[in-house]
Amino acid sequence: MRIVITGGAGFIGKKLAQALLTRGTLTDGQGRVQTLTEIVLFDVVEPEGLLHDDPRLLVRTGDIGDAGEVRELIGRETGGVFHLAAVVSANAEEDFDLGMRVNLDGTRNILEACRALGSSPKVVFASSAAVYGALDRVPDEMTILAPQTSYGAQKAMGELLVNDYSRKGFIDGRSLRLPTIVIRPGKPNRAASTFASSILREPLAGQEAVCPVKPEVRMYILSPRRVIQALLHGFDLPAERLGQVRMLTLPGISASVGEMAAALKRVAGEEAAARIRWELDPTIQKIVSGWVPDIKADRARALGFDSDRDMDEIVRAHIEDELAGHVA
């Protein structure tokens, strides 16, 4: 089986590629376990820090907004696509046209290229909990969507496309609504949620970090470990277990920013927690306050997806996976 990962230069794309190389197999639409022969990482830039010595791994750069380029990318041997590419929240809000070109038009290009294969390949679409918007209650998967950002709206439209292309038999799609991913390795990006990783990642590395929101702000969170497990499990799930509704909200935990800082202090000590500097940014505060702080994900749990136990586990996982078990 040939697999394409869009957004392959991002940290999730790279971690997913490494997991696939280690695992070596995926389950196709007929329930058969297939050996992975080629994994293509596609992005606008080449991934950094990736091992290229595995002959199954291919890196390609290009523009997901170019339909012809995408059709060439998804060749006849493609058995599945992990569609992770996106312009992130704050950037999509600032540059509406770019967000639409990548997050909506790019998704349509992927789906059309898969449709042209005529083999109904599996497509895992990385959606977002931002599709819900701000609500006065805890939503579930059947809650009417009312996103409060362009990014959330673009992801919601992508979900509907995946659902309809699956209904028509063009693809075997599944949209996984990702919580905010904490702790992201690497450097801060343009996402409004980037601070949620920075206020933990930088102090663990011995550096100061600025928190631009109030301590009582709550977020719906999942660790990188659990995200990779969810993407693989989501691909392997048989279509009959998903039925006609191809959207799934991944289980996460609800934690306030203050609780994140408290977990940092418990796991890494008072000195690490003291490296957080609290400086309110009204723009970021407004965006993050437009996200739901908790979601009922009973259907996803029933289908075998799981969340982290608590923030302490998330902090420890980052120390083990990214810092070789050591705190600065």
Q: What is the pLDDT along the chain (328 residues), one digit of tens a residue?
A: 999 999 999 999 999 999 999 999 999 999 999 999 999 999 999 998 776 689 999 999 999 999 999 999 998 889 999 999 999 878 898 899 999 999 999 999 999 999 999 999 999 999 999 999 878 889 988 899 999 899 999 999 999 999 999 999 999 999 999 999 999 998 887 777 899 999 999 999 999 999 999 999 999 999 999 999 999 999 999 999 999 999 999 999 999 999 999 999 999 999 999 999 999 999 899 888 878 899 999 999 999 999 999 999 999 999 999 999 999 8
Decide: 70 and 113 in contact? Cβ < 8 Å. Answer: yes
Give 187-213 as a DSSP string.
S--S-TTHHHHHHHHHHHTT--EEE-S
Catalytic residue selected from 132, 151, 165, 220: 151
Tally of domains within the chain? 1
Residue 299 lies in a domain: no
Residue 243 lies in a domain: yes
What is the CATH number for 244? 3.40.50.720
pTM of the model as a whole: 0.93
| CB neighbour class for 81 (10 Å; exposed up to 12, middle 13-18, buried from 19) | buried
Active site residue 151: yes
Distance (Å, whole) CA 210 – CA 277: 5
Residue 159 lies in a domain: yes
Decide: 74 and 60 in contact? Cβ < 8 Å. Answer: no
Decide: 151 and 88 in contact? Cβ < 8 Å. Answer: yes
- Domain around 170: 2-179+223-249
Decide: 286 and 230 in contact? Cβ < 8 Å. Answer: no
Residue 110 lies in a domain: yes
